Structure 1
Amino acid sequence: MLLIALPSAQAANIYISGDSPFSELHIDGEIVKHDYTRMINVINRHRDIPYMLSLNSKGGNVMESIRIGSFARKYLMRFESKKCNSACLFIMLGSMYRSESKTAEFGIHRPKFKREFFANLTAQEATNKYKSLRNIVEAYMLRMGAKQQLVDDMFAVPSNNMKFIKSKNMATLLNTQSEGYSEWIISKCGDDLNPKQHHDLMAFYKNRSLQGNSYFEYLDSKSTQYFHCELEVVRMEQVRLFNNDARFNVQQLGAN
């Protein structure tokens, strides 16, 4: 299936920076065929699952991006972005923890087939092919937590155009973490702050004159403990998955 979001060009620069367990996997540039395999090879050489997935991409090959996004979801990877347009969105959707940068923007438009392929189809063949494409992409997006509105918004934009969505607006088009994952973390780490406590803690961070107040110090301590517990739980799961993945099973990976 010849699916792309932008014309193929030079492969993305895929590399890892930093030390375990807080290393970052960088994908810089256009995503092309075989980039998923290249990513696996980079991780295999590193002998560790990166903590963060850092994206700087204008998009590229749809199916490669979906494979990378599926990997990010399986391995509970975090996400940050300097630039994430077109097919790059599918990688972002796969991550469990998405960028909270207020300046981040995401460019969306509907994906397309290679021009030389699609131009040689009849109108009916093109209609059928594109329907199949939408079914694949839509199913993936919904499975990864996109709301139907984001799917519809993306497919409403022609492939030769781009609609940019601010980070704060993108957040409204995504569902929160899956119920299963949330309950799994609760079972491991206990209760996090409730909405009122979280609101109070944010007020405390904005007004440090409240420092020394036992209530706010309690909230800060509880939030920090929960955060570190979740990090540890996720790390242990990443190690378990890595050590049971035949692609990486050369030597056992430790949690530290």
Structure 2
Amino acid sequence: MLLKSTMVLKLAVPLVLVALVKPASAVQIKRVGTDSGGVLRLRGDIKAGDYGRLKSILQNGAVVGLEIRSDGGSLEEGLDIARVVRDKGLVVYASKECDSACALIFLAAKERYIGRRCRIGVHSVSNDRGKEDGDSIRTTVQMSRLLAGLGVPHSIIGKIVATPPAKMTYLDNRDLAGLSVHRTNPFRDIYNAANVARSQEASSVCNTGVNVETEAIARAGQRSCTTSAAHVPESRER
């Protein structure tokens, strides 16, 4: 997905903000885990407003990291999310494809993990017509300097700068090694605990339903017996 520059850069914040094309649907955000250690799953294209939604969720409970898969989207929103990831020290796990603005979120993390079949795709910024111009080139340079300040290797930054907006370059094993990327799911224990909790809750609901039904039948039977006994004719001596 093209990264398109249409706004003046706001350099007062830790991450450069650029307005981009907005995808049709917002990213899906789902919380998994307990209040003491939750994970936010982000799925789909990153759209204007997603940063605000994510920030609100982060304020309402402890979150240790993000699991993300996305073809990209709004660079402005992606960079805002990347800033929060860096500021809060969140772990980022790219479970599948993570391109463009999604890759910036991944690169901003202090701890990075990827799934077995995951790819991280990068490219430079375009204008609102999907082309490079003076403004978009300057935006790419600003973004590159920002990533360098976050410790992203120059070999990766070089791929971002050299890849035209309409194309995608995927990080190779050497790039991933330079980022100290781990090929595993860091949230496995949290997901397993969440699955166990859901199973126990479902079992509890099922057992409660059986007990309620059994008690209802028993009470109905008791009322039936009581009613029958009340209508037995009294015997009379002749």
TM-score range, shorter chain: 0.5 to 0.7
| Shift in Å, 1:101 | 4.0
Q: Say how many residue pairs are matched.
A: 165
User: Residue in 1 aligned with 2:112?
Assistant: 98
Larger Rg: 1 or 2?
Answer: 2
Deviations 1:144-171 (A, max 9, x none): 22111111111211111112224x3332
Indicate which of 115, 133, 144 corresponds to 2:150: 144
SS at match of 1:98: strand
User: Residue in 1 aligned with 2:218?
Assistant: none
Normalised by the size of structure 1, how large is the TM-score?
0.58
Spell out the pairing of 1:96-245 with structure 2 (5 A cutoff).
96-115=110-129, 126-127=133-134, 129-166=135-172, 168-174=173-179
One-letter amino acid of the counterpart of residue 68, structure 1: I
SS at match of 2:111: coil
Indicate which of 32, 40, 49 corresponds to 1:34: 49
| Shift in Å, 1:5 | 6.7
2:73 is the alignment partner of 1:60:
yes
RMSD value, Cα:
2.4
| Shift in Å, 1:111 | 2.2
Q: Is the 8 A contact 1:15 1:25 kept in 2?
A: yes
SS at match of 2:24: coil
Q: Is the 8 A contact 2:22 2:48 kept in 1?
A: no
| Shift in Å, 1:59 | 0.7
User: Residue in 2 aligned with 1:76?
Assistant: 89
**Could you tell me the percent identity over the aligned residues?**
19
Q: Is the 8 A contact 2:41 2:66 kept in 1?
A: yes
2:62 is the alignment partner of 1:49:
yes
Unaligned runs of 5+ in 1: 177-256
| Shift in Å, 1:109 | 1.4
| Shift in Å, 1:140 | 1.9
SS at match of 1:66: helix
Structure 1 residues 110, 54: CA separation in 2 closer, same or farther (over 3 Å shift)?
same
Distance 1:112 1:80 in 2: 27
One-letter amino acid of the counterpart of residue 74, structure 1: D
Higher helix share: 1
Distance 1:6 1:162 in 2: 17
Normalised by the size of structure 2, how large is the TM-score?
0.62
Q: Is the 8 A contact 1:5 1:59 kept in 2?
A: no
Unaligned runs of 5+ in 2: 7-17, 182-238
Q: Is the 8 A contact 2:31 2:40 kept in 1?
A: yes
One-letter amino acid of the counterpart of residue 145, structure 1: G
SS at match of 1:172: helix
| Shift in Å, 1:38 | 1.3
One-letter amino acid of the counterpart of residue 37, structure 2: F
SS at match of 1:55: strand
SS at match of 2:160: helix
User: Residue in 1 aligned with 2:31?
Assistant: 16
Structure 1 residues 64, 7: CA separation in 2 closer, same or farther (over 3 Å shift)?
closer
